[in-house]
Amino acid sequence: MPRMLFILAALWLVVPLSAQEGSGQVCLRAFEDRNVNGSYDANEPFITRDISATLADVDGVIVASALLDDSPRAALGLLCFQNLAAGQYTLTALSATYAPTALFAFVTSVSADGVPQIFDYGAQVIVSPPPKLEGTPTLNVRALLPRLFFSVLGTLLLMSGMIVVGALIFFLFVRPKPAPTAYAAPTLRPDTGSYTPYRAPNPPRDDLSPADDDTGKQRLT
């Protein structure tokens, strides 16, 4: 009896698991929808990365998720979920790089015949808007006049103060001191002719010649 119960319990666990396994497939084909018509055209390239997909069952429970980057058929833009049991599923595509141009969620009924259900996911690269340039500020002349007036006034006061300080420094420390006054030379009184000017006598001459000496003697005799 215990052995029979063990076998029944094992069968109860195995049967649901096997029921979840099947041959159904659901695929997402991502492409760059250049003409924004929602359908794939021959001249439109496949998207090979930066897209994720989730697969939910009829109750809304996510049963699988995958990244296009890891798909073995990413070069063709294909991201597939395989080995699905028959039933209804919802395939949802998400991307932070691409914006969908049509549907991004698809509801499908998967059969057990193994034929894949392929859904086209058209998208375009999300372009960040250029930074908004602020308008050029207008020049308010009335608001600038007081600032200009006080700026000029402050500059003049500063220059005046520097001139006063420089003059004080020059007169107190830099200017050369005047030399002491010299004694004035005595001035000679001019000759007015009212008196005989003094003339120094001629010094005696000792070098008189004999002729001069005889003349002198004759004058004495």
Who wins on pLDDT, 211 or 110? 110
Give the integer Cα–Cα distance in Å for 19 and 210.
181
pLDDT of 214 higher than 80: no
Beta pairing class for 21-32 and 78-84 = antiparallel
Global model pTM greater than 0.95: no
- The pLDDT value recorded for residue 107 is 92
Q: Give every CB contact of residue 191 below 8 A, 6+ residues apart in sequence.
A: 197
Report domain 19-125's class. Answer: mainly beta
The β-bridge partners of 122 are: 31
Give the integer Cα–Cα distance in Å for 91 and 107.
6
Tokens of 172: 């107190």
Q: Is 78 in a helix, a strand, or coil? A: strand
Q: Give every CB contact of residue 126 below 8 A, 6+ residues apart in sequence.
A: 96, 97, 98, 99
- Using 50, 70 and 90 to split pLDDT, how confident is the model at 22? confident
Q: What is the pLDDT of residues 29-38, one digit of tens each?
A: 999 999 999 8
pLDDT of 23 higher than 50: yes
- The pLDDT value recorded for residue 146 is 79
Q: Give every CB contact of residue 192 below 8 A, 6+ residues apart in sequence.
A: none
- The pLDDT value recorded for residue 192 is 59
- For 19, 166, 215, the CA distances from 204, given in Å and listed in that order, are 171, 72, 17
Q: What is the pLDDT of residues 60-82, one digit of tens each?
A: 999 999 999 999 999 999 999 99
- The pLDDT value recorded for residue 194 is 57
- Using 50, 70 and 90 to split pLDDT, how confident is the model at 203? low
Q: What is the pLDDT of residues 106-134, one digit of tens each?
A: 999 988 777 888 999 999 998 876 666 66
**Contact 109/24 with Cβ under 8 angstroms?**
no
Q: What is the pLDDT of residues 141-196, one digit of tens each?
A: 777 777 777 788 888 888 888 888 777 787 777 777 666 655 555 565 665 555 56
Q: Angle at CA 140, nearest 5°, toward 139 and 143?
A: 140
- For 37, 46, 125, 139, 140, the CA distances from 28, given in Å and listed in that order, are 17, 11, 18, 58, 60
- Name the percent of the chain lying above pLDDT 90: 35
